[in-house]
Amino acid sequence: MFNRDTWFEIAHTVLSHPLRTVLTGISIALGVFILVVMQGLGFGLQNGVQNQFADDAVNSIWVQAGRTQLAYKGNQANKQVKLRENDVEAIFAEMDSVYSYSRRIRKWGVQMEHGDKVGSYPIRGVDPDHQMLENTKLTDGRYVSQRDIDEETKVAVVGQTIVDEIYEGANPIGTHITIGGVLFSVVGMFNDPGNRWENKMAVVPYTTAKKLFRGGRDKVDQLILGTGDMEVASTITLTERLLGWIKERKSVHPEDARGIWMDNNNEEYQKYQNIFLGIELFIWGIGLLTLLAGAVGVANILAIAVKERTKEIGVRKALGATGLSIVGLVVQESLALMLVSGCLGLVLGVGLLELVSPMVDHEYFQNPQVDFRIALVALGVLSVVGVISGIGPAIRAVSIKPVEALRDE
């Protein structure tokens, strides 16, 4: 079907009006270019956000206390609300089941020493489930265990930044590090490429942090609750119920958003997924509209070409050419213009993303690229649009009667 003569005919027809052809080709290439680049940028944004969620378990609810904004039940605004261990136990009692949990103690700017290296880093006191709830990926050693919690052991799991800066990249497992003036054994190390802030931390048992850095006080900075395989709607209901209950328990106004709050990662992740779906549909809509504009240009070029080739088509039909062969020739011309222009836009779009990708270094925007499936879909759409663009002019060509065509000339 695509023999050499056919290609010559297609080239002759398409290039018979070079300026019009170039302008139409640019509009098609631009449409594909915009589609590819916007898809790539959207993919980069989605990667960044998903990596942030990958830093925490999606199926989790986070509980945290702050300062009140509204006066309530005799308490003035701007009162510091403290989440206590008995509050945690009460929350557990309110839940049908506790899949997993971790209390958190946070302390910033703690001095750490090993040999002659000294640095200031944050620490976290956590429970064993914290590894799963934070999606912590160990690179060596182990995490905080239940035995560490029970025995208040002085063990630490350090982030990659501490390894690089305090240990100069050497494996710290089995060594000792001084944290806040107390000697700890390093039992594990982790690296979180999605969140470099996490790599600056050292993790110690919750009970150890409570004893050494809180003087035994039972204030809990954060509580993370795992929701297991609960449906999103069920986690929303649970969050609303627990939040209302704990606010009443701590005498915080029901409308106070900062006295006590809960972040439901299940709900937040679903919201982001819906947002990205909307963005993707918008991008495809813009791309398809641009391609439609290009398709109109292709149809106009072919309509003019058919009119100028009235005698040629009449001769072809007089010599026995079938209507199907005439339609095939016109549609092939449309398809060739669409695909050549589209592939040019595709190559330019992918090239730009490949050029920009290594320069991008942000936690919320990572690795902008084009999914190979999207490229295939784009080429498929181009093919369909190319065929549709050629149908109108092709029908006009088939309707030409040989006698009238020759007489008109």
pLDDT tens readout for residues 221-247? 999 999 988 898 999 999 999 999 999
- Under the banding of pLDDT at 50, 70 and 90, the label for residue 148 is very high
Helix (H), strand (E) at residue 318: helix 310-318
Q: What pLDDT score was predicted for residue 188? A: 97
Percent of the chain surpassing pLDDT 90: 41
Is 90 exceeded by the pLDDT of residue 351?
Answer: no
Q: Does position 185 have pLDDT exceeding 70, yes or no?
A: yes
Alpha helices (H) along 124-177? 130-133, 146-151, 160-166
Strand partners, 114: 117
- Can you tell me the mean pLDDT for 298-316? 68
Torsion of CA 171, 126, 144, 153, to 10 degrees: 100
Give the CA distances from residue 294 to residues 21, 61, 72, 328, 390, in Å, rounded to whole numbers and listed in that order.
11, 49, 63, 20, 12
- pTM of this prediction exceeds 0.75: no
The string of DSSP codes covering 338-354 is HHHHHHHHHHHHHHHHH
Q: For residue 404, what pLDDT band results from cuts at 50, 70 and 90? A: low
For residues 8-36, average pLDDT: 70
Mean residue pLDDT of the chain comes to 81
Q: Which of 142-151, 230-239, 327-336 has the highest average model confidence (pLDDT)?
A: 142-151
Grade residue 67 by pLDDT with cuts at 50, 70 and 90: very high
How would residue 180 be classed by pLDDT, with cut points 50, 70 and 90?
A: very high
User: What is d(CA 202, CA 70) in angstroms, rounded to the nearest whole number?
Assistant: 36
Per-residue CA distances from 388 to 25, 88, 308, 375, 394 (Å): 16, 64, 21, 20, 10
pLDDT band at 296, cuts 50/70/90?
confident
